[in-house]
Amino acid sequence: MRFMSDELADGRHLLTIGQLADYAGVTIKAVRVYHDRGLLPEPPRDSSGYRRYGAKHAIQLVKIRTLVEAGVPLARIKELLGAGPERFAAALDEIDRNLQKRAEEIRRTRQRIAQLHSGDRLFVSAEVTGYLERLRQIGVSERTVLLERDLWILLQSVAPEQAAAWIADKLAAIADPEFRALYLDYDAAFDWSPDDPRLPALAERTRRWYAGQDGSGAAGPPPDPTITRLAGVAAGASSPAWARIAELAKEVP
Amino acid sequence: MRFMSDELADGRHLLTIGQLADYAGVTIKAVRVYHDRGLLPEPPRDSSGYRRYGAKHAIQLVKIRTLVEAGVPLARIKELLGAGPERFAAALDEIDRNLQKRAEEIRRTRQRIAQLHSGDRLFVSAEVTGYLERLRQIGVSERTVLLERDLWILLQSVAPEQAAAWIADKLAAIADPEFRALYLDYDAAFDWSPDDPRLPALAERTRRWYAGQDGSGAAGPPPDPTITRLAGVAAGASSPAWARIAELAKEVP
DNA sequence: TCGAACCCTGCCCCAGGGGCAAGGTCAAGC
DNA sequence: GCTTGACCTTGCCCCTGGGGCAGGGTTCGA
C-alpha cells in the first residue's frame, strides 16, 4: 500500500530508463539488453509498469559501460561482476594488457595503411609489394621491410627473371608459420652482437627449415652465384649478427 | 614444384583456397565471404571444381585484409577498391584519422579501467568527487558520504545543469566553518530518535544559516521544485531524525 | 484536451564471420 | 587396389551487440 510510495520516497528508485541511459551515455536499448543478459538487475516498476532506477543501478551501469568499451564481451562482464574483488582486480589487469596490445596493433596498422598509400609499387613489382605488405602485417619491423625492399629492387634490376621466381618461393614460404616465426626472430636478431649465444640455435633452425624445403621448392632455379652473393652481402652488411648466422650455417653442412 | 613457382610468377592460377588463406593469414571462410561480397574476384576452377588463385589474388587479399584490420566495413572496401587513386588516397587519409581517434579512445578507456579499481570518480563529476573528498577530510562518516554520493548521482542524471550549479554552492558552503560544524552535527544526528530534544536547536541553526546565505550566493539558479523535493525526500527517507528537522524548519517560516 | 515526449513488449535486421553437415577429391602408404 | 586423412565444395543456422520499427500505453505542460 504505502510500499510503492516508500520506495519512490527513499531515493532508491527515481530514475526512468531514459534518464539512466543519458547519465551513463548509453541508449535505452542497450540498458534493456543488459537486463536481458543479466548484467544489470531489473529495477522495480512504478504503477504504470515503467522501470524505476536508483543510484546503485547508475553505478553498475557505468561500470558495465566502461568494461564494454574496453572490449570485454557481455558474458564475461557478467561473470566478473559476480566474482570477488581479487578476481575482479586480476581481470582488470588482463583487460588492460589487452588494451595495450590493441593500441600496438593500431600503431602497426597505421604504418601499413600509410604504406598502402604511397606504395613501394613504383620501385618493385606488384608481387613484391604484396610480399612486403605481408611482412608488415605479421609484425616485421619497418627497418627490415625497407631492407628487403631495397634488396628486391637490386634483384629486379640485376636479374628480373630470377627475382620473379624467387618472389614466388617467398610468397609460398611466408604462408608457413614456421618460416614466419623464423623471420621474426631474424628481425629481432638484427641488433644482437655477433657473439650472442642465441645465434647458433637460430642458424641451426634456419638450416633445418631449408633442409625441410629441399627438393620441393627452392631447389628449382639454378642458383646464380652472382645473385646469391649479392643477397648475402647486402644482408650481412646491414647486420653483423646476420652475417654471423650465415657463417654458422655454412660451417655445418 | 618448380613448376608451381613459375606459374605463380607468371600470374597463373595454382594456389588452392587454403594456401591462399594461409598466405594472407586469413580463414578459408573469410576468403569465401570476400567472394560473396564482391571484394575479391572469383578465380577460375580446376577440373574438379576447386578454386585456383594467382599472385594477383594474393595481393588483393592482403590489401583487403589491411583495410579490414583498420576497421573499414567490407562494403566500403569494395567501393574503395573500385574507385580511382585520388579517391582511394583521400579515403586512406580518413581511415588513418579514424585509427588515430581509436588509439586516443583506447588511451582514455585504459585510464577509466584503472579508476574502476577504486574511486567514485567514474560515477560523479570531478567537482563532486572533490566535494566528497572534502567531506571525508573534515570527518564526516563514510555512511553519510555515501548517501551524499548517491544523491549526487541521482541529481546528475535527472538534471545535470542544476547539479553543476548546486555543487558550486556546496563547494562554497563547505569553506564556511559554520556550515562545516552544522554538517558534522547533522552527521551525528543521523541515528537520533525523531523525538530527540536536541533537534529543534539544530533546525533553528539550519534556518539561520540558510537565512544568512540569502541573496548573497545561492540566488543564482531558480530552485526547481521537483529537484529540491527529490533532495529533501531522499535525505528524509534515510534518517527519521533528518526528516523531523526538515519538518521543524518548515514550521517556523 | 491535445500533442509531444516518454515508456512498454515483441519482432526482425545488420556485419563478419564460425561451425557443422553432407558430400567430392587427392596423395600417401600398405 | 584400398584405405586414411587432409583438402575442397555448397548450404544452412548460429553468435555478438545492439538498431529500428510496430503497435500499443502514459504523463506532462500549454
Residue nearest to nucleotide C25 (CA to C1'): B48
**A199 has pLDDT over 80:** yes
Q: Which of A113, A130, A164 sits opposite B70 (nearest CB)?
A: A113
- The residues that bridge with A51 in the sheet, in sequence order, are A45
Nearest nt to B19, CA vs C1'?
D7
Contact A231, A151 (CB under 8 A): yes
Q: Average pLDDT in the A119-137 region?
A: 76
**Chain A contact set for B156 (CB, 8 A):** 23
Q: Measured between CA atoms, how close is B1 to chain A, in angstroms?
A: 6
pTM, entire model: 0.74
**A237 has pLDDT over 80:** no
Name the band, by pLDDT with cuts 50, 70 and 90, for residue B1: very low
Residues with CB under 7 A from strand D: A 27, 29-30, 33, 46-49, 68, 73-75; B 16-19, 28, 32, 49-51
For B115-132, what is each residue's pLDDT tens digit?
A: 887 767 777 788 888 888
Residues 44-83 of B with CB under 7 A from strand C: 46-49, 68, 73-75
Closest chain B residue to A121 measured between Cα atoms? Answer: B59
B10 grid coordinates: 607468371
Spacing of A17 CA from C1 C1' in Å: 28
For A27-75, what is each residue's pLDDT tens digit?
A: 999 999 999 999 999 999 999 999 999 888 999 999 999 999 999 999 9
Whether B153 sits inside 8 A of A92 (CB atoms) is no
* Nucleic strand C within 7 A of Cβ A19: yes
Q: Which of A15, A23, A137 sits opposite B65 (nearest CB)?
A: A137
